[in-house]
Amino acid sequence: MEGVGLLSAAASLGHRVGAVGRHPVARRVGEAAVTLLGVSILTFVLLRVVPGDQITAAYGTAAGDLTPEQVEALEAYYGINEPVLSQYLGWLGGVLTGNLGVSATSHLSVLSMTAQSLPNTIELAVFAILIGLALGVPGGMLAASRPGRARDQISQLTSLIALSVPSFLLAAAVSSWLVNTIGWYPNGEGYRTLLEDPLLNLQQMLLPALVLGISIAPPILQTTRAAILTVRSEDYVRTARAKGVTGRRLQVRHILRNALIPVVTMSGLQFGFLLGGALVVEQIFAIPGIGRQVLLGLEQKEYAVVQSTVLVIAAMFVLVNLLTDVVYRLVDPRVRVQ
Amino acid sequence: MSAAADMHEVPEVPTTRASGRWVKAFRTPGGIVGLILMAIVTTLALLAAFGVGQDPATQEVSDALQGPSASHWLGTDQFGRDIFARVCSGLANSLRVAVVSVTLAAVGGVLLGILAGYYQGVLDRVVGVITNVLFAFPSLLLALALAATLRRSWLTVAIAIAVVYLPIFARVARGPVLTLRHAEYVLAATAVGRSRLSTLFEHVLPNITGILVVQVTLSLSWAILTEAALSFLGFGTPPPAASLGGMVYAAQTLTSVAPWMLYAPGAALILAVVGLNLLGDGLRAALDPRGGNQ
């Protein structure tokens, strides 16, 4: 026991002395940087072992008719005759200076493609999170109000079923049902951005955001429920009760406000997930988001596009998680003390 | 059953006590429903796997897009193939991919987690970075990127899904090792000449069985969903083999003429996943003290 006390004393001393290196936020930033480096290596290696390369992508079946000399010249042109390590460093150097490569079919730069697709995905993710919160938080509050009773079990069962319905199935069912019954299907027309045609854009976002919102509501419901149950038995709630605080004020000011902290974290994680995990729904509802950019790249065997886009998605995922962590520290002073 | 369970309530022996809790998991209504659903799903899948009933690949173009009837219980698809046979065969494919991928992920992940927690130092850091990197991708995107780069077959899909879920198991296993490696009975076993690593395997594994079983059950349901999504996108189990995701994709454009093509594989998918989730919840309430609802 004494050893443990000594250790923690030493740790807290070290905390103060090596303020920067040991600061938890600095450590998380360092960790995120290492992770990103690993992510870049993994995406590079992944798309190195792909059957077929840029030459096949650019020339299709005609690549088989090329003479060895032509293949060699093309390999030099695309830089794939260089050693793997220098290829990787070249690609990474390009990425760091904003050069994500160029699509071989459309001749657009991946950077400009991403600049177009990413806002669509972010818009979709924001709407999905709002719907998820609107369904999950009241559901969790309802479940936590009488734990173990009928309303708790019903909301838990509903969330379990919502969790079990794959989003692509829900999307396919909803869109075909709408088309067959009322004939209203805004996503059948070409996609319009929020700036081009706000009214149509919101209609086009409604169904995919609803499908995604339903799929992220269950974790938000579970988190809300668990957090409320934990907070309710905290000392300060008992103190508030002892002071005579009751009813709405107790529920909202003392319980809900504190219980929402983990819900914010969960929403952050889900937001990060949606940036790349929405690709099936983007595909079905024809939202030209970043996930669809990956799918299109895979279909057209545009591995340079896939490689850079996957890297962008993973980088944003890491950054959103890092940000969530930092915000969590700011919102909840108890985490800073630990 | 309860008398037998009570007799085993000897606190000193964790494994027998756990067997009592196993029974408890299947006494919750959710656990029972989950068990029944999984029994139905597994039976259908096994029947298809052993070739009982109609052949899922036989085409009868004159019978294309027929509604449910006595000869075709769930109707036929656009090639006149029997949907019931294809749903069963699709379930068999889902379960095969899920079981293989989760087994690979669990064995690999637990092994990595125990070794990392035990040796710490460089190995632990490397495993930590690998898990962080794998966690940095939305799971479907990573599975998609992996499946797209490998030659398409059900096995490569399973391997891709295994890589995605491996880090979860590594984390589940690593935690308990950190606390147990300095436990006195582990030190005592070392003192009498046992290797510490073998002692760890012997004591850590029983300690994390509960969490592992829950994790395996839930991972099976995620793996089924991931495989279905990959097949839906055209990067999963290749045709002509039946896959539930592929069937949903094919049904999408035909819902106005043949809605049963969408309902049948969709319902099968939901039943399997709900079954596994209910089973996982029942097991968690019974086996994992952290996840209990109390």
Per-residue model confidence as pLDDT tens digits over B101-157? 999 999 999 999 988 988 888 888 888 888 888 888 888 888 888 888 777 788 888
More confident: A124 or B48 = A124
pLDDT for the residue A335: 65
3-state secondary structure chain A: CHHHHHHHHHHHHHHHHCHHHHCHHHHHHHHHHHHHHHHHHHHHHHHHCCCCCHHHHHHHHHHHHCCHHHHHHHHHHHCCCCCHHHHHHHHHHHHHCCCCCECCCCCCEHHHHHHHHHHHHHHHHHHHHHHHHHHHHHHHHHHHHCCCCHHHHHHHHHHHHHHHCCHHHHHHHHHHHHHHHCCCCHHHCCCCCCCCCHHHHHHHHHHHHHHHHHHHHHHHHHHHHHHHHHHHCCHHHHHHHHCCCCHHHHHHHHHHHHHHHHHHHHHHHHHHHHHHHCHHHHHHCCCCCHHHHHHHHHHCCCHHHHHHHHHHHHHHHHHHHHHHHHHHHHHCHHHHHC
For chain A, positions 311-330, list CB contacts with chain B under 8 A: 313-314, 317-318
Angle at alpha carbon of residue A328, lines to A161 and A41, rounded to 5°: 80
Q: What is the pLDDT of residues B262-277, one digit of tens each?
A: 888 889 999 999 999 8
Q: How far apart are CA B80 and CA A170, in angstroms?
A: 25
pLDDT at A125: 94
**Is A49 or A46 the better-scoring residue by pLDDT?**
A46
Whole-number mean pLDDT of chain A? 81
- Alpha-helical regions (H) of B136-195: 139-149, 154-180, 184-191
A155 touches chain B (CB under 8 A): no
Spatial CB neighbours of B272, under 8 Å, sequence gap ≥ 6: B37, B38, B41, B91, B94, B95, B221, B224
| pLDDT value at residue B228 | 92
Residue of higher predicted confidence among B69 and A280 = A280
Q: Is A176's CB within 8 Å of B255's CB?
A: yes
Cα gap B173→B184, rounded to integer Å:
19
Least CA distance to A319: which residue of chain B?
A: B136
Structure ipTM: 0.80
Q: Is B97 on the interface with A (CB under 8 A)?
A: no
- Higher-confidence residue of A172 and A185: namely A172
Reported as a single tens digit per residue, the pLDDT across B231-273 is: 998 888 887 788 888 888 888 877 777 777 888 888 999 999 9
| Per-residue model confidence (pLDDT) at position A78 | 65
**B58-70: average pLDDT:** 72
Q: Average pLDDT, stretch A158-168?
A: 88
Residues of chain A neighbouring B231 (CB-CB closer than 8 A): none
Distance of CA A176 to the CA centre of its chain: 27
Across the interface, whether the CB atoms of A172 and B233 are under 8 A apart is answered: no
> Between residues A15 and A211, which one has the greater pLDDT?
A211
pLDDT at A13: 40
A160 and B252 in contact by Cβ < 8 A? no
What are the phi and psi torsion angles at A80 (to 5°)? -95, 10
Asked whether B230 and B143 are in contact (CB, 8 A), the reply is: yes
Lowest mean pLDDT among A8-12, B115-119, B169-173: A8-12
Least confident of A184-188, B45-49, B96-100, B290-294: B290-294
Question: Between A249 and A220, where is the model more confident?
Answer: A220
What is the pLDDT confidence band of residue A122, given thresholds at 50, 70 and 90?
A: very high
- Classify residue B87 as exposed, middle or buried by CB count within 10 Å of its CB (0-12, 13-18, 19+): buried
- Per CB-CB distance under 8 Å, the chain B contacts of A313 are 137-138, 141
Q: How far is A314 from chain B (nearest CA, A)?
A: 5
Identify all chain A residues contacting B137, using CB atoms and an 8 Å cutoff. Answer: 39, 276, 310, 313-314, 317
How far is the alpha carbon of B106 from chain A, nearest alpha carbon, in Å?
Answer: 21
Integer Cα distance of A152 and B253 in angstroms: 39
- Percentage of chain A beyond pLDDT 90 is 14
**In this predicted structure, which of A150-164, A237-251, B71-85, B204-218 has the lowest mean pLDDT?**
B71-85
**Partner-chain contact B293 A148, CB within 8 Å:** yes
What is the per-residue pLDDT for A136?
A: 92
Sort residue A91 into left (φ over 0), alpha (ψ -120 to 50) or beta: alpha
Q: Give the pLDDT confidence score for residue A55 in this predicted structure.
A: 64
Predicted local distance difference test score (pLDDT) of residue A103: 79
Using the Cβ of B269 and the Cβ atoms of chain A, whether some distance falls under 8 Å is answered with yes
pLDDT for residue B250:
83
Q: How many CB pairs under 8 A join A and B?
A: 123
Does residue B52 sit at the A interface (CB-CB below 8 Å)? no
Which percentage of chain B shows pLDDT scores above 70?
87
Residue % of chain A over a pLDDT of 70: 85
Q: Do A317 and B138 touch (CB under 8 A)?
A: yes
Token pair belonging to A93: 């150097």
Contacts of A272 in chain B (CB under 8 A): 138
Please, which pLDDT band fits residue B68 given cuts at 50, 70 and 90? confident
Asked if the Cβ–Cβ distance from B145 to A180 is below 8 Å, we say: no
- Which of A 237-276 lie inside 8 A of B, CB atoms? 272-273, 275-276
What distance in Å separates the CA atoms of residue B194 and residue B190, rounded to the nearest whole number?
Answer: 5
Closest Cβ opposite residue B270 in set A39, A165, A318: A165
- Cα of B37 vs its chain's centroid, Å: 15
What pLDDT does residue B109 have?
Answer: 93
Distance CA A156, CA A205 (A): 28
Place of tokens 């929402």: A260
Q: Does A295 touch chain B (CB under 8 A)?
A: yes
Encoded amino acid at A127, one letter: F
Predicted pLDDT at A301: 77
The shortest C-alpha distance from A50 to chain B (Å) reads 5
Distance between CA atoms of B112 and B118, rounded to whole angstroms?
10
| Chain A contact for B255 (CB, 8 A cutoff) | yes
Q: What is the pLDDT of residue A21?
A: 52
CB nearest B136 (choices: A46, A306, A318): A318
Please tell me which of the candidates A47, A161, A173 has its beta carbon nearest to residue B262.
A173
Predicted pLDDT of residue A53: 58
Section B192-215 average pLDDT: 80
- B136 contacts in chain A (CB < 8 Å): 35-36, 38-39, 314, 317-318
pLDDT of residue A5: 40
Q: How many CA atoms lie within 13 A of B33 on its CB side?
A: 11
SS3 content of chain B, % helix, strand, coil (to 5): 75, 0, 25
Q: pLDDT category, B291, cuts 50, 70, 90?
A: very low
Confidence of residue A209 (pLDDT cuts 50, 70, 90): very high
Judge whether A188 is closer than 8 Å to chain B, CB to CB: no
> Under an 8 A CB cutoff, do A166 and B225 touch?
yes
Instruction: Chain A: give the shortest CA distance to residue B273, in Å.
Output: 5
Contact (Cβ atoms closer than 8 angstroms) between residue A125 and residue A271 = yes
Mean pLDDT of chain B: 80
Cα angle A65-A71-A76, degrees, rounded to a multiple of 5: 160
Quote the pLDDT of residue B274.
92
